[in-house]
Amino acid sequence: MDILESVKMAVKTLTANKLRSTLTMLGIIIGNASVITMVGVGQGAQRYASGQFESLGPNVLFVIPGSSESRNRTLDMPRTLTLEDAKAIATQVPTVSGVAPQLQTQQAVVYSNRSTSALILGTTPDFSSVRTFDVAKGRFISDLDVQRGTRSVALGPDLAKSLFGTSDPLGQTIRIKNISFQVIGIMEAKGAFLGNNQDDVAYIPLSTMSDQITGNTSPYGTEVTFISIAARDENSVGAAQFQITNLLRLRHKIVTDDDFTVRTQKDALEVVGNVAGALTIMLAAIAGISLFVGGIGIMNIMLVSVRERTQEIGLRKAIGASQDDILVQFIIEAIILAALGGAVGTLIGVGGVTLVSMVSPLKAGVSPAAVIIAVGVSSGIGLFFGVVPARQAAKLDPIVALRSA
Amino acid sequence: MKTIIRFEHVSKVYGSENTEVRALSDVNLTVEAGEYCAIMGPSGSGKSTAMNVIGCLDRPTSGSYYLDGVDVAQLNDHELAHIRNRKIGFVFQQFHLLPQLSAMENVMLPMVYAGIPLPQRQQRATEALTRVGLANRLNNRPNQLSGGQQQRVAIARAIVNQPVLLLADEPTGALDSHTTQEVMAIFAELNASGITVVMVTHESEVARLTRRVVWFRDGQVIHPNLSPTNLAQVTVAAV
């Protein structure tokens, strides 16, 4: 008997009991839908995070306090990085074109009778160019502001809006930690970075920040939360990373373990890739388990089906079906159930992924490879879990099978 | 005349040494082409086992069985399946039609296993169903047919591959006396057209409609060639 006839026969048998066939497929449908959705979402998360780091620009570096090991040991960030470090980098590292130390804290911001909590970010004029934050109106912090420790503030557009509504904030006075600041500029909207709103921020001179808001908290000098650095160009990022590391090791008199980390965009992308890759594997593994359970469901039903259809099997043998014919027939039934379930599950998964990318910032997508693998794997599962019942059917003694009533 | 069935010292033993059951014990039997014979005997006489061996559903433990000149005792599963498909047509007491298939599709089934292309299958199935008087029931499912009609579909299925032997196991066992007559008329007509018919039955009214009765008891043939006409006396004597 040729395969086409076997397929027709299997379709006939499966459609004769639609409810059971559908329920049998359900496990595979759910398994496949979750594989496609999970992998799609995992990859979407990876693309989202990568996109965020790519938006920083390829020549940006960050110096953050502590080594990756020491940061894991304590809840609090180490306070080893200082303004003096930033100045040294700016003056002594030739491959660097801009250095923006940042000292930040969350504080209440008050204008007239409106109050809100915002991120207060003490920095230097370079911040605007290093991180490509542009001024929409007025001006950003100047060198003079930093030298004199003026009480000037530039507002992110969201913060400006929540304090001032539609009225013009320029020249107005707001209070941060009960200290008066004059609004000197409004920034362009920048959007969120990894879920943090970058427009709900108040920028003040770094010196004002350390002297009047946070106080001097580090024994080494004026503490900074981290330092953003722009390398001269994309090709000098590696050199800049090397030079900054050496300079800071000298300054911090380090013998063995670094108390700081210099990160490039490439490093960050690698970290994102690793985390997202692990996440995707984990999600796929969970979904894979449900696919496996679905396969067992198929085997279970097929075993029952062989029991139920003993007479049919006996009859088929009596009229000329060989053991191979029966084997092939039952395996094909299992494969059809699994492959069809796989296809339906894939469609549902694609729907799920589309839904996720519509309601969240994750640009989740379904790769054709994932679809091919999912449908292929579920067909394979049908084959794998179909063999045992099919062998049982093929081995039935036709005499016994025909007499069982 | 061609010999269709030849048993030479056929024995069939079930079970192991201690629990051994001799279902057939050194049976010799010959059925020529064109014969119409009934196999009778009390239950446990070995007639069902003989039927299974004749139908190539079972192999003899010892001895030789020639079906249409071929020694089938030594064939493997694949070859036996082929023989069942091409040389034997089965009719069962319980019809054994597949419920999800129409009359036509049921009749086409043996031809599917024979690898006959679809147009030819349809043509031959239609012919076979017409021959048993069901030309107007081609697309009915078994549950839309009466018992007699179902058995006629089963007969059409049995003859559609033009077998050398039509083998019926209690073919009227599930039918009332009226439809029994109908079905037996079909067997008689098929036999008249040259098909060899062997049926197992315990009903002497049915056996009386055949032309030869083979009587089994205790795994042996005790009357290889009874005349169906004086069956009544012999039956009483034999039992």
Q: What backbone phi and psi angles, to 5 degrees, belong to B61?
A: -70, -40
CB contact under 8 A, A320 and B100: no
Domain final residue, candidates A234, A258, A282: A258
Average pLDDT over residues A393-400: 89
Q: Are A29 and A382 in contact (CB under 8 A)?
A: no
Residues of chain B found within 8 Å of residue A402, distances taken between Cβ atoms: 57, 92, 96
Q: Are B228 and B211 in contact (CB under 8 A)?
A: yes
CA-based nearest residue in chain B for residue A14: B100
Average pLDDT over residues B131-144: 94
Q: Which residues contact A144 (CB under 8 A, 6 or more apart)?
A: A150
Is there a domain that residue A73 lies in? Answer: no
Number of domains within chain A: 2
Give me the interface pTM, i.e. the ipTM: 0.92
Q: Which residues contact A34 (CB under 8 A, 6 or more apart)?
A: A286, A287, A290, A349
Q: What is the DSSP string of A357-395?
A: HHHSS------HHHHHHHHHHHHHHHHHHHHHHHHHHHH
- For residue A344, the enclosing domain spans 3-51+271-403
Question: How far is it between the farthest Cα atoms of chain A?
Answer: 104
CB contact under 8 A, A319 and B85: yes
CA-based nearest residue in chain A for residue B58: A399
CB contact under 8 A, B57 and A323: no
CB contact under 8 A, A1 and B81: no
Are A118 and A254 in a shared domain? Answer: yes
Residues of chain A found within 8 Å of residue B100, distances taken between Cβ atoms: 12-13, 16
Is there a domain that residue A68 lies in? Answer: no
Q: What is the mean pLDDT of chain A?
A: 86
Question: What is the pLDDT confidence band of residue A268, given thresholds at 50, 70 and 90?
Answer: confident
**Which of B85, B88, B95, B166 best probes binding to A when mutated, by most A CB atoms within 10 angstroms?**
B85
Closest partner residue to B96 among A12, A13, A402, by Cβ? A402
Q: Are A72 and A235 in contact (CB under 8 A)?
A: no
Q: pLDDT value at position A130?
A: 87
Is the per-residue pLDDT at A68 higher than 80?
A: no
Q: pLDDT value at position B237?
A: 54
Distance from CA of A312 to the nearest CA of B (A): 7
Q: pLDDT value at position A192?
A: 79
Distance from CA of A379 to the nearest CA of B (A): 25
Touching check for B151 and chain A: CB below 8 Å?
Answer: no
Residues of chain B found within 8 Å of residue A315, distances taken between Cβ atoms: 92, 96, 98
Chain A, 307 to 326: residues with Cβ < 8 Å from chain B are 311-312, 314-325
Residues of chain B found within 8 Å of residue A13, distances taken between Cβ atoms: 100
pLDDT in tens, A329-381: 999 999 999 989 988 999 999 898 888 888 887 777 777 877 888 888 888 88
Closest partner residue to A1 among B57, B90, B113, by Cβ? B113
Q: What are the start-end ranges of the H helices in B160-214? A: 177-192, 204-207
Touching check for A5 and chain B: CB below 8 Å?
Answer: yes
Average pLDDT over residues A59-78: 70
Is the per-residue pLDDT at A73 higher than 70?
A: no
Nearest CA-CA partner of A135 in A112, A160, A163, A167 = A160
CA-to-CA distance for A393 and A307, rounded, in angstroms? 8
Q: pLDDT value at position A217?
A: 64
User: Can you give the residue ranges of every domain in chain B?
Assistant: 3-13+21-238
pLDDT in tens, A190-247: 887 877 788 899 999 998 988 888 876 666 777 888 899 999 888 888 899 999 998 9
Question: What is the pLDDT confidence band of residue A38, given thresholds at 50, 70 and 90?
Answer: confident
CB contact under 8 A, B115 and A314: no
Q: How far is CA A202 from the centre of its chain?
A: 28
**Which of A315, A396, A399, A403 best probes binding to B when mutated, by most B CB atoms within 10 angstroms?**
A315
- Buried/exposed code over B143-171 (b: 16+ C-beta within 10 A; e: otherwise): eebeebbbbbbbbbbbbbbebbbbbbbbb
Q: pLDDT value at position A74?
A: 54
Are A175 and A87 in a shared domain? Answer: yes
Angle between helices A368-395 and A323-359 (to 10 degrees): 150
Are A39 and A7 in a shared domain? Answer: yes
Touching check for A117 and chain B: CB below 8 Å?
Answer: no
CA-to-CA distance for B75 and A109, rounded, in angstroms? 96
Closest partner residue to B58 among A316, A399, A405, by Cβ? A399
CB contact under 8 A, A405 and B98: no
Q: pLDDT value at position B43?
A: 85
Q: pLDDT value at position A67?
A: 73
Pairing type for strands A60-65 and B62-67 reads unpaired
CB contact under 8 A, B99 and A398: no
CA-to-CA distance for A325 and A94, rounded, in angstroms? 79
Nearest CA-CA partner of B151 in B165, B161, B137 = B137
Is there a domain that residue A67 lies in? Answer: no
DSSP state of A108: E
Q: pLDDT value at position A344?
A: 92
CATH number of B3-13+21-238: 3.40.50.300
Distance from CA of A308 to the nearest CA of B (A): 13
pLDDT in tens, B153-190: 999 999 999 999 999 999 998 899 999 999 999 999 99
Exposed/middle/buried for residue A33 (C-beta within 10 Å: 0-12, 13-18, 19+)? buried
Are A210 and A359 in a shared domain? Answer: no
Average pLDDT over residues B195-202: 93
Distance from CA of B77 to the nearest CA of A (A): 7
Q: pLDDT value at position A49?
A: 82
pLDDT in tens, A147-168: 898 999 999 999 999 899 888 9
Q: pLDDT value at position A64?
A: 86
Closest partner residue to A318 among B90, B94, B99, by Cβ? B90
- Can you point out the beta strands (E) in B36-87? 36-40, 62-67, 70-71
pLDDT top residue among A123 and A2: A123
CA-to-CA distance for B199 and B207, rounded, in angstroms? 9
CA-to-CA distance for A404 and A311, rounded, in angstroms? 7
Are A156 and A84 in a shared domain? Answer: yes
Is the per-residue pLDDT at B221 higher than 80?
A: yes
DSSP state of B61: S
Nearest CA-CA partner of A82 in A254, A284, A260 = A260
CA distance to A119, A156, A169, A174, per residue, from A183 (Å): 15, 11, 6, 7
Touching check for A9 and chain B: CB below 8 Å?
Answer: yes
Q: pLDDT value at position B183?
A: 93
| pTM for the structure as a whole | 0.74
CA-to-CA distance for A22 and B138, rounded, in angstroms? 30
Are A333 and A209 in a shared domain? Answer: no
Nearest CA-CA partner of A318 in A194, A401, A246, A386 = A401
Touching check for B141 and chain A: CB below 8 Å?
Answer: no
pLDDT in tens, B67-107: 999 998 778 889 999 999 999 999 999 999 999 899 999 99
Is there a domain that residue A132 lies in? Answer: yes
pLDDT in tens, B35-56: 999 999 988 898 989 999 999 9
Are A224 and A285 in a shared domain? Answer: no
Q: pLDDT value at position A270?
A: 86
Question: What is the pLDDT confidence band of residue A78, given thresholds at 50, 70 and 90?
Answer: low
Question: What is the pLDDT confidence band of residue A267, given thresholds at 50, 70 and 90?
Answer: confident
Q: pLDDT value at position A363?
A: 74
Q: pLDDT value at position A79?
A: 64
Touching check for B100 and chain A: CB below 8 Å?
Answer: yes
Touching check for A241 and chain B: CB below 8 Å?
Answer: no
∠B89-B92-B93 over CA atoms, to 5°? Answer: 155
Domain final residue, candidates A236, A258, A280: A258
Coil, helix or strand for A188?
Answer: coil
Is the per-residue pLDDT at B235 higher than 70?
A: no
CA-to-CA distance for A63 and A194, rounded, in angstroms? 19
Angle between helices B103-114 and B147-159 (to 10 degrees): 20
Touching check for A12 and chain B: CB below 8 Å?
Answer: yes
Nearest CA-CA partner of B138 in B155, B125, B154, B119 = B125
